[in-house]
Amino acid sequence: MKLKLPPLLIFLCVAVGITGTAFYVTGRALASPFQPGSPGQWGAWAWAAALWAFPVGRMLFFRHAQVSRLQSLAFFMLGLGATLFMLLLLLELAGLLLGLGGYQFSPWAPWALLGLSALLGLTGWQEAMGPTQVKKVTVPIAGLARDLEGLRIVQVSDFHVSHLQGRDRVLAMVEQVMELKPDLIALTGDMVDGPLADLGDDVEPLSRLRAPMGVHYVIGNHEYFWGAKAWLLRFRQMGMDVLENEHRLERRGNAIVLILGVNDPTAGRSGEGGPDLEAAQRGAPAADFTLFLGHQPSLWPLAEKAHADLFLTGHTHGGQFWPFPPIVSLFHRYFRGLYRHDDKLWVFVHSGSGFWGPPNRLGVPPEVVEITLTRG
């Protein structure tokens, strides 16, 4: 009999394992300048414990949508700890390489990195909590129908509405989108990060999104953590066109646009149906332009198989904050921005309209993306 664990339990086990490892690496590094058993060494381990136990405990044992200064501090410390952890790993690697030549870092180097992490965290906080930027992208399509020349698609992705990103920020983002006067709006998943009972009022401004060719939504992995069925029903009630392995046809002049939307690959772990291109294409006629929507960039083979012209996706957050962008890019063939796949398919990976976890977007600002089609 195959044991099937709930996705939230799997997430918690992985989180605890990573946190334990990070605590050990951080504590050992900060304690290195002090004598064994000295008050300084115990103090260093206490710093490491506070850096990891406080934010993780705060998130596990308090309501997700609860707003408080302590909750905000916990998320800031989580970002600080994550940055410090990665810097310490880089320090270890550099120390091994330099050690071959007889060089050695000062034992106080980890404390200098702690100060650097705090500075980076404060800067990233300001960028994450600042205004969403409008990013404009032009995509040239060979043989594009004349009626689709200048078609404007606005993409929003990975907002992660939560206690730190509530109604006011959602409303500001919606106003930005509507000022662009899009022909079509694409929402590519992970719009919420909490249960409907806590965040229902916060997402209400999304009901104001309107476009002549519709507001089309595909589910992300985080919706499955917080009751996907309830959220999708709410989104439909708000006027969104939710695509669960389905297609839609939209017209602009005499041109037909086929929109294909597939489920997230994590759906199977929640007992739901995963991405199914065959189901999405069933009954779909030929079209002048095919738009493929899926939350994760790893779905590009399905977009290619569908002979799509443009694949809109998100999920990666562009790494969200340094030093994670180059690390995250190692796990995704398409990671951030616009790519051309085999001279046939355009892939655009959205960096996120909000943030997840630590309110930190250092070097990767939150964005709303306006994509304009032109004849290639």
Spell out the SS3 assignment of 55-88.
HHHHHHHCCCCCCCHHHHHHHHHHHHHHHHHHHH
Euclidean distance between CA atoms 246 and 263, whole angstroms: 9
Amino acid identity for residue 130 in this structure: G
| Structural tokens at position 87 | 């810097």
- Confidence band (pLDDT; 50, 70, 90) for 67? low
Percentages of the chain per state (helix, strand, coil), in multiples of 5: 45, 20, 35
Sort strands 345-349 and 367-375 into parallel, antiparallel or unpaired: unpaired
Whole-Å CA distances, 230 to 147, 196, 201, 222, 233: 38, 7, 14, 13, 5
In the chain, list all ranges with CATH 3.60.21.10.
133-375
What is the rounded average pLDDT for all residues in the chain?
90
The architecture of the domain spanning 133-375 is 4-Layer Sandwich (3.60)
CA-CA distance, 151 to 153, in Å (whole number)?
7
Output the six-digit token pair for 345. Answer: 């398919």
Q: How many CB atoms lie within 10 A of CB 215?
A: 23
Element (H, E) at 215: strand 215-217
Task: Summarize the confidence of residues 319-326 as an average pLDDT.
Answer: 86
- Burial environment of residue 254 by CB neighbours within 10 A (0 to 12, 13 to 18, 19 or more): exposed
**Predicted confidence band at 68 (pLDDT cuts at 50, 70, 90)?**
low
What secondary structure does DSSP assign to 9-27, as a single string?
A: HHHHHHHHHHHHHHHHHHH
Question: In angstroms, rounded to a whole number, what is the distance separating the alpha carbons of residues 333 and 227?
Answer: 30
Residues in CB range of 343: below 8 A, 6 or more apart: none
DSSP H or E stretch at residue 134:
strand 133-141
- Which whole number is the average pLDDT over 273-290? 95
Model confidence pTM above 0.85? yes
Give the whole-angstrom CA distance, residue 293 versus residue 318: 18
**pLDDT beyond 80 at 9:** no
Which amino acid would we find at residue 44? A
Say what the pLDDT of residue 65 is. Answer: 46
Beta bridge partners of 341: 345
Question: DSSP character for 332?
Answer: -
Question: Which tens digits make up the pLDDT trace of 132-157?
Answer: 999 999 999 999 999 999 999 999 99
| H or E element, residue 114 | helix 109-129
Q: Quick one: pLDDT band at residue 240, thresholds 50, 70, 90?
A: very high
Q: Which two tokens stand for residue 3?
A: 């044991």
pLDDT value for 7: 59
| Residue 1 pLDDT greater than 50, yes or no | no
Confidence (pLDDT) at 334: 95
Average pLDDT on 188-206 reads: 93
The pLDDT of residue 358 is 84
